[in-house]
Protein backbone atom coordinates (compact mmCIF):
# COMPACT_ATOMS: atom_id res chain seq x y z
CA UNK A 1 0.00 0.00 0.00
CA UNK A 2 1.18 3.44 -0.78
CA UNK A 3 1.38 6.23 1.74
CA UNK A 4 -1.29 8.13 -0.16
CA UNK A 5 -3.77 5.25 0.14
CA UNK A 6 -3.08 4.83 3.87
CA UNK A 7 -3.58 8.55 4.42
CA UNK A 8 -6.85 8.47 2.49
CA UNK A 9 -8.11 5.49 4.55
CA UNK A 10 -7.21 7.19 7.85
CA UNK A 11 -8.89 10.42 6.75
CA UNK A 12 -12.01 8.54 5.61
CA UNK A 13 -12.15 6.64 8.91
CA UNK A 14 -11.97 9.85 10.92
CA UNK A 15 -14.76 11.41 8.85
CA UNK A 16 -16.96 8.32 9.31
CA UNK A 17 -16.34 8.36 13.08
CA UNK A 18 -17.21 12.07 13.32
CA UNK A 19 -20.43 11.63 11.37
CA UNK A 20 -21.39 8.56 13.39
CA UNK A 21 -20.66 10.32 16.67
CA UNK A 22 -22.74 13.31 15.65
CA UNK A 23 -25.69 11.12 14.67
CA UNK A 24 -25.42 9.17 17.92
CA UNK A 25 -25.35 12.38 19.98
CA UNK A 26 -28.45 13.70 18.23
CA UNK A 27 -30.37 10.43 18.62
CA UNK A 28 -29.30 9.98 22.26
CA UNK A 29 -30.28 13.54 23.15
CA UNK A 30 -33.76 13.19 21.66
CA UNK A 31 -34.30 9.78 23.29
CA UNK A 32 -33.66 10.85 26.87
CA UNK A 33 -35.16 13.76 28.72
CA UNK A 34 -32.68 15.26 31.06
CA UNK A 35 -33.36 17.83 33.66
CA UNK A 36 -30.66 19.86 35.27
CA UNK A 37 -28.31 18.31 37.75
CA UNK A 38 -28.87 18.73 41.47
CA UNK A 39 -26.00 21.18 41.63
CA UNK A 40 -27.48 23.42 38.93
CA UNK A 41 -30.92 23.27 40.56
CA UNK A 42 -29.42 24.19 43.94
CA UNK A 43 -27.48 27.07 42.39
CA UNK A 44 -30.65 28.34 40.67
CA UNK A 45 -32.52 28.09 43.97
CA UNK A 46 -29.83 30.02 45.83
CA UNK A 47 -29.84 32.85 43.27
CA UNK A 48 -33.54 33.57 43.82
CA UNK A 49 -34.93 36.03 46.33
CA UNK A 50 -36.20 34.52 49.58
CA UNK A 51 -39.88 34.84 48.61
CA UNK A 52 -39.22 33.08 45.30
CA UNK A 53 -37.28 30.36 47.14
CA UNK A 54 -40.27 29.72 49.41
CA UNK A 55 -42.60 29.64 46.39
CA UNK A 56 -40.38 27.12 44.59
CA UNK A 57 -40.20 24.95 47.70
CA UNK A 58 -44.00 25.08 48.10
CA UNK A 59 -44.60 24.04 44.50
CA UNK A 60 -42.12 21.17 44.78
CA UNK A 61 -43.77 19.96 47.98
CA UNK A 62 -47.24 20.16 46.40
CA UNK A 63 -46.12 18.16 43.38
CA UNK A 64 -44.40 15.52 45.48
CA UNK A 65 -47.51 15.16 47.67
CA UNK A 66 -49.67 14.61 44.58
CA UNK A 67 -47.29 11.95 43.29
CA UNK A 68 -47.20 10.27 46.67
CA UNK A 69 -51.01 10.24 46.90
CA UNK A 70 -51.30 8.81 43.39
CA UNK A 71 -48.83 6.05 44.22
CA UNK A 72 -50.66 5.18 47.44
CA UNK A 73 -54.05 5.01 45.71
CA UNK A 74 -52.70 2.93 42.83
CA UNK A 75 -53.76 5.45 40.18
CA UNK A 76 -50.27 5.79 38.86
CA UNK A 77 -49.85 2.06 38.33
CA UNK A 78 -53.09 1.87 36.37
CA UNK A 79 -52.00 4.77 34.16
CA UNK A 80 -48.70 3.04 33.43
CA UNK A 81 -50.44 -0.17 32.39
CA UNK A 82 -52.62 1.55 29.79
Q: Per residue of the chain (82 residues), what is the pLDDT tens digit?
A: 788 999 999 999 999 999 998 888 888 766 666 566 777 777 777 788 888 888 888 888 887 777 667 666 766 555 444 4
Supply the pLDDT for residue 48.
Answer: 81
Supply the pLDDT for residue 81.
Answer: 46
Supply the pLDDT for residue 82.
Answer: 47
Supply the pLDDT for residue 61.
Answer: 82
| Cβ pair 51, 57 in contact under 8 A | no
The C-alpha angle with vertex 16 and arms to 11 and 21, in degrees rounded to 5, equals: 125
Q: Which long-range contacts (CB under 8 A, 24 or more apart) does 52-61 make?
A: none
Supply the pLDDT for residue 51.
Answer: 86
Amino acid sequence: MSNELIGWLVFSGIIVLLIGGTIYAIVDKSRTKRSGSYASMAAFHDMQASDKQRAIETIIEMRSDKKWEAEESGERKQDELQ
